[in-house]
Amino acid sequence: MKNKNYSLYSILFVFVFISSIFFYFNLWNKNRIIVDAPSYYTYLPALIIHNDLKLNYIDSKPAYYKNKVWYYKIEEDKKLIKHPMGISVALSPFFVAGHLIAKVNGAVQDGYSMTYQNSLSIGVLFYLFIGLYFLRKILLEYFSEKITALTLISIVLGTNLLWYTSFEGLMPHAITFSVWCLAMYTFFQWLKTSERKFILYFSALFGLIVLIRPLSIVAILYFIIIGIYSKGGIKLFFSFLKYNLKVVVVGAVLAFVIASLQLIYWKYATGKWLYDVYMDEHFVFSSPQILPFLFSFRKGVFIYTPILIFALFGLKTFYKTNKGVFWSTIILMSITIFLLSSWWAWSYGICWGMRPMIDYYALLSLPLAAGFQIVLNKSKFVKLFFAGVIFLLVCLNLFQTWQYKKGLIHYDDMSKEAYFKGFFQTKPSIEWADLLKPYDWERRENHLPQIEYSPEFFETNKKEVYLRATNMMYVVVNEKAQNAMGALGKDYSANSTFFIEHHEGNTISIRSAMGLYWSIKPQYENAITASETSVGSSEKFTFEYLLSDDNRIAIKAANGKYVSTGSKWPFILKADSDKIEKSEIFRYFVIGK
């Protein structure tokens, strides 16, 4: 029986699926130069349209370019693009095409209209198609058509690569993934055939990878280890390099020339060959967040991309059959995870899943396919069970991608409680939002541990706190209403800053930033105001914890009633409740201290 091209059909299926997303969500008419994309993309309109990589052109229309061009203002009032230029280089042919189409159609040639964005999105899809096509060739060297097809579908539809190919396709990840696929194929072909063209192709691709994301330079270890095991040992591999020394040197120079385009830009824009573009960001190597990076409900790799668990299974197979793939993957991913989790913002801000890992899905595709092969080569019952698991994990990713699109998965504040509370939700709820946990990035940046909320912490804390009611509003001093306390602040501010002063037992007083104490006012229906300069009986409260490992508390006033949030604007706080229910619960936060 003729072997069917399931893997080719799988690529076609992926592209039909992604195209349907573009049309269903009308992405062709929506801005996709968002999040960090404006910074990666700035090189193209700056060079091709304005011929001004020093960005002086934005001074003529500062309001127009405010959200379109990201830059640092550095010494001597110079402007510097923050992110590397690799993505701009990769997409430059498609930008030029969009520029010409805009000219022919009489559209505005500003670099940001839908004509440009659609041309660039087509470029991203082109890269993805080429990447998947050559990844298919690699996988077929080790696996059957069916396993290869399943892997190609899973690696796109079962991971956050889908999001970064469609909704945020102009971020660097889909292109980086695709270039990795090409680099792997050309390097493997060079080892297999010794044809010089393949090492030159690889060198150019690797140079582009480093130009896109300089941290990826450590991935050269992956290819060196693959080469050592492929040739039968270190000595034989270096003999192979020596035999091909001339082309290897040419390839190294080619890779350096491409990667050094960034150095040339820095020299042009700043006068220096090397420049710390992340001047206000850094690594925290003394505190890598490896476990949260991999397993936290905030953004953990295996929580939000659980299908990658099969890659762990697959490594076992390669340990037995191909130690080159095993050790190269283990060593590179160990170093990469350490580096990525050491970044001060280890969850990488506004993103769906752990987006920097997408760049390495090409390298993880081999163990992922091996993991699929292990579980699908078992007995019929086991095979059906795991086939069902894989199918459900792909469906889970599609559903959660939709949830993220609708704001039902928070971009950075997820918690275990919020994850399970919102697991099947299709509409946002205050109850779910209340379970989100903001991360104190200022403490992380200052090399300080996160605050572990507990009764002991509350009893000893002398720093300012913010209180948030279950209506998701922060408690503030309402100066327009005789300093009445109301849960009406959309964000924490100076007016929502309080200091807890501890007395005997669990008795406390609460002082505002203006130095005035909370006080119960029986004459105003037991409303709470920040109005007293000293502490008396009416200014003393007691607190109760709802969970010892959480930051939820209830506050009882001197009249024996719990402080409650009003149900109508301006959500006045009153001590009028006999029991703790939803309106009597507050969360306290210590932010940025």
Q: Can you give the pLDDT at residue 592?
A: 61
As a 3-state breakdown, the chain gives helix, strand, coil percent values, each rounded to 5, of 55, 10, 35
Cis peptide before 45 (omega within 30 of 0): no
Going by C-alpha positions, the residue among 276, 532, 259 that lies closest to residue 541 is: 532
Q: Can you give the pLDDT at residue 3?
A: 61
Number of Cα atoms under 13 Å in the Cβ half of residue 520: 24
pLDDT at 342 exceeding the cut of 90: yes
Residue 162: both structure tokens together: 């889908």
Give SS3 for 586: strand
DSSP bridge pairs for 544? 554
pLDDT at 229 exceeding the cut of 60: yes
DSSP state, 80?
A: E
pLDDT tens string 108-152: 899 999 999 999 999 999 999 999 999 999 999 999 999 999 999
- Residue found by looking up tokens 């080159």 in the block: 324
- Residue found by looking up tokens 């469609």 in the block: 166
> Which residue stretches of 194-300 are H helix?
196-212, 220-230, 234-243, 245-259, 261-270, 290-295
DSSP bridge pairs for 468? 474, 587
Average pLDDT over residues 234-251: 96
Q: Can you give the pLDDT at residue 453?
A: 87
Average pLDDT over residues 356-377: 96
Residue 76: which residues within 8 A CB-CB, separation 6 or more? none
Percentage with pLDDT > 70 across the chain = 99
Q: Can you give the pLDDT at residue 491?
A: 85
pLDDT tens string 13-45: 999 999 999 999 999 999 999 999 999 999 999
Cβ distance 281 to 344 under 8 Å?
yes
Q: Can you give the pLDDT at residue 457?
A: 86
pLDDT tens string 439-451: 888 888 888 888 8
- Residue found by looking up tokens 């001074």 in the block: 59
Name the band, by pLDDT with cuts 50, 70 and 90, for residue 1.
very low
- Residue found by looking up tokens 């660097």 in the block: 172
Cβ distance 563 to 575 under 8 Å?
yes
Cβ distance 359 to 213 under 8 Å?
yes
Query: How high does pLDDT run on average in the chain?
Result: 94
Cβ distance 303 to 296 under 8 Å?
yes
Name the band, by pLDDT with cuts 50, 70 and 90, for residue 2.
low
Cα–Cα distance for residue pair 495/476, rounded to 1 Å:
6
In terms of C-beta distances under 8 Å and separation of at least 24 residues, what long-range contacts does 497-501 make, across chains too?
497/464, 497/465, 497/466, 498/464, 498/465, 498/466, 498/467, 499/462, 499/463, 499/464, 499/465, 500/458, 500/461, 500/462, 500/465, 501/535
Percentage with pLDDT > 90 across the chain = 85
Quickly count: other Cβ atoms within 10 Å of residue 186's Cβ. Answer: 21
Domain boundaries, the chain: 6-401, 455-589
- Residue found by looking up tokens 């270096």 in the block: 238
Q: Say which CATH topology domain 455-589 has.
A: Trefoil (Acidic Fibroblast Growth Factor, subunit A) (2.80.10)
Residue 325: which residues within 8 A CB-CB, separation 6 or more? 226, 318, 366, 367
Q: In this predicted model, which residue has the larger pLDDT, 157 or 105?
A: 157
- Residue found by looking up tokens 């055939």 in the block: 193
Angle between helix axes 309-321 and 361-376 (nearest 10 degrees) is: 80
pLDDT tens string 59-88: 999 889 988 888 889 988 899 999 999 999
DSSP state, 49?
A: I
Cα–Cα distance for residue pair 431/590, rounded to 1 Å:
21
pLDDT at 254 exceeding the cut of 90: yes
DSSP result, 396-453: HHHHHHHHHHTTSS-SS---HHHHHHTTT-SS--HHHHHT-----HHHHHTT-PPP--
Cβ distance 557 to 587 under 8 Å?
no
DSSP state, 143?
A: S
Q: In this predicted model, which residue has the larger pLDDT, 2 or 157?
A: 157
Per-residue HEC secondary structure of 507-530 comes to EEEEEECCCCEEEEEHHHCCEEEE
Cβ distance 67 to 38 under 8 Å?
yes
Going by C-alpha positions, the residue among 97, 27, 112, 108 that lies closest to residue 66 is: 112
DSSP H or E segment with residue 178: helix 173-193
Residue 275: both structure tokens together: 């420049």
Cα–Cα distance for residue pair 336/359, rounded to 1 Å:
11
Cα–Cα distance for residue pair 86/262, rounded to 1 Å:
8
The residue count for the chain: 593
Name the band, by pLDDT with cuts 50, 70 and 90, for residue 307.
very high
